Every structure is written in structure tokens, then in C-alpha cells.
Amino acid sequence: MADSSEFFYPRSRYYGQVKPENLIFNANLQEFAQRVSYISNLETGGKLPPEVAYQEIKALWKQLKHTKKQLGIGKNPFQDEDSSTAS
């Protein structure tokens, strides 16, 4: 890989409904998962105390929930379903 950020922060392809808010939330969700993995590995390796790991993951979770709320993800789950099947 030419770019080290792609190595350290890999992104998976998105297969869901392509809407800007879904793409943003997916990117945030992937970043959350990556950071939780790092924190878990540091805690497992004894480099981070369990309580600190818990607090960091809890803070990341709150950020993800806040992003979900701001983007309106899940408010009207069937809003675009009828329009996409009508064509």
C-alpha cells in the first residue's frame, strides 16, 4: 500500500442505500469499530487499564450515538422504500 493511512485505517465498501447521511454514518461506524479494536488490544496487552479502556469506549459510543441522532438515521426507516420499489 502506498498510503499508510489506508493500512492503519482500512475502509470497507458500503453496500447500503446510497444517501449522504448513510455514507457519513457508515464512515463513522467503521472508525468507531477500528478505535474500539485498538483500545481492546491495548487493554488486552496490559498497556491500558480496564477502567480507562471502558471510559474511552463509552465516550466513543456517545459520539457515535450523537452522530446518528444528528444525521437522522433510523427516524423514518421506510421513507424511501416505497419510492425505490415503485420504478
Contact assessment for residue 65 and residue 19, using Cβ atoms and an 8 Å cutoff: no
Asked whether the CA dihedral 18, 20, 1, 57 is positive or negative, the reply is: negative
- The pLDDT, as a whole number, for residue 58 is 98
Q: Where is pLDDT greater, at 35 or 87?
A: 35
Check whether 87 has a pLDDT greater than 50: no
For 22-80, how does the pLDDT look when each residue is reduced to its tens digit (9 = 90+)? 999 999 999 999 999 999 999 999 999 999 999 999 999 999 999 999 999 988 755 65
How many CA atoms lie less than 13 Å away from 7 in the CB half-sphere?
4
- The pLDDT, as a whole number, for residue 3 is 75
- Domains of the chain, by residue range, sit at 18-72
pTM: 0.75
